[in-house]
Amino acid sequence: MDLFIQGIKSDISLELPEVEKFYQEYRDLNTVFIENENKYDDILTNYGTEDLKFALGFLSSIYKNIEKQGYQVINAVFDATERYGEYELSVFYGNRILEKYNETSAEDILIRIETLRRVLSALLNLDDKLFFNEYLIKYTKELENLLSLYPSYIKEIYSHISDWYQFMYFYSLTITGDDEKAFGFLLKSYQIRKHMLEEGMSDIITGNNILYIANIIGLYSQLKDTLLSLAFSPEEYVEEFLKEVKQLKSALDKKPSRKDFFLKGYFRKYYNELLTNIYVLGFHDEHREIIEVFPEIVNKDHLIMVEIDKLFKEIGEKEPEEIRKKVSSLKREIDILFNNISRSKQEQILYLYYNLLIEIEENLENLLREIKTVKEKKFRSSLLFDMLQIKVFLKQDKREEAKDIALNVREKAIIENNRFIIDAVNRILDELN
């Protein structure tokens, strides 16, 4: 039998009882907070007359389109709903489709599982953990029905196996908090997507394989100091990313009308985050080559962060004054860039910028005042700026001041579940004790 089919059946038999058990416990613990279990089915009660007519009219249109085109029209239905961010309405329509197409025929199974996939995606966007858990159980059981159709519909089966692992990745990461288990699901999801690409069941433009690699490298970057590092090597995924970037660029050169999707929105965000992780992990040659292959998709803020890192590495090799001149020039670029990037990106870049200045500036008191002023004006709750103050005090050998801030920062980081800050502060406190 197909190894992917064997694997998913085994994983479902292990995971489904655990998900069902967790769901029941989650409901029992949060009963007091569950105000309306039918909140998505009751959504139309808040609609005015015109909106209600439109919503019901669109539902009739959905049924007609499904009758004509079957399960293959499901994605287009939800794309139309979610184009305006109407994720609650997606869940409502999903429930109506599930009610109507409830037979055991292959077509009804495919309609239901395609619908459940999109409902789960909508619930992720709504950050509704309770209902996500509930529909994950429904999706898993429907996947078992789909597997019974094997070897027919092999493309659909592989696609849903991959997506089931992807949903289990989100479930483990954001609901049960089992990061290493999440990582395992992520790897399985990608391996199936890669197989589909190699076998011609998907293509480089629509397969979104690069996003899967971005998640793998991103999660590995967070877990690389755990036992996971003994069992996983990121090299092959970095090499695969480079290979797929070249394939994507070639495909888009032949279909330039598809470029907009990749140059804007969430794909660009993932792409640049992946570039950052690849650089941080030390794959500098691959990083440079990837930028050369697809320079128009690389964000300016990413390039600035790389430049700051390069200057950091020049400390001790070049004269401080030479580095200061380069930093001054870079600061002008940062000031221009700040009009076009988010506050979180501003915070990250300024953290790196001041982290560099701490190493080369002679007047640390002035620098500390500047850091405090910027924090007060723009980033009052920023733990990164608190980390900068700790670093200045350590540089000045003011150990007690550094320790006081570090203890306070650790407390806040624990509340926010910010492992990056927690680990960094613990290392500092270990040195201070």
Q: If pLDDT is split at 50, 70 and 90, which confidence band does 176 have?
A: very high
Contact criterion met (CB below 8 Å) for 74 and 115: yes
Q: Which residues lie below 8 Å from residue 254, measured CB to CB, with a gap of 6+?
A: none
Please give the backbone phi and psi of residue 318, each rounded to the nearest 5 degrees, phi first: -125, 160
Q: Which residues pair with 315 in a beta bridge?
A: 318
pLDDT at 35 over 70: no
Q: If pLDDT is split at 50, 70 and 90, which confidence band does 132 have?
A: very high
Please report, as a single letter, which amino acid is at residue 342.
Answer: S
| Tokens matching residue 147 | 């597997």
Q: Cα(6)–Cα(12) distance, rounded to whole angstroms?
A: 10
The predicted structure's pLDDT at residue 316: 84
Please report, as a single letter, which amino acid is at residue 87.
Answer: Y
Q: Which of 1, 27, 15 is nearest to 144 (CA)?
A: 15
DSSP string, 15-38: HHHHHHHHHHHHHHHTGGG---TT
CA angle 395, 397, 399 (to 5 degrees): 115
**pLDDT, tens digit (0-9, with 9 covering 90-100), for 317-336:** 888 788 888 988 898 999 99
Residue range 126-138: mean pLDDT, rounded: 94
Q: Cα(221)–Cα(239) distance, rounded to whole angstroms?
A: 16
pLDDT at 1 over 50: no
Contact criterion met (CB below 8 Å) for 418 and 425: no
Q: Which of 175, 213, 218 is nearest to 191 (CA)?
A: 213
pTM reported for the whole predicted model: 0.84
Q: If pLDDT is split at 50, 70 and 90, which confidence band does 30 have?
A: confident
The predicted structure's pLDDT at residue 340: 84
The predicted structure's pLDDT at residue 243: 93
Task: Give SS3 for 318.
Answer: strand
**pLDDT, tens digit (0-9, with 9 covering 90-100), for 65-80:** 999 999 999 999 999 8
Pairwise pLDDT comparison (165 vs 44), residue with the higher score? 165
**pLDDT, tens digit (0-9, with 9 covering 90-100), for 390-433:** 999 999 999 999 999 999 999 999 988 787 788 889 999 998 87
Q: Which of 277, 269, 166, 255 is nearest to 203 (CA)?
A: 255
Residue range 196-203: mean pLDDT, rounded: 93
The predicted structure's pLDDT at residue 83: 85
Contact criterion met (CB below 8 Å) for 188 and 216: no
pLDDT at 19 over 80: yes
**pLDDT, tens digit (0-9, with 9 covering 90-100), for 247-269:** 999 999 999 998 888 888 788 98
Residue range 12-17: mean pLDDT, rounded: 97
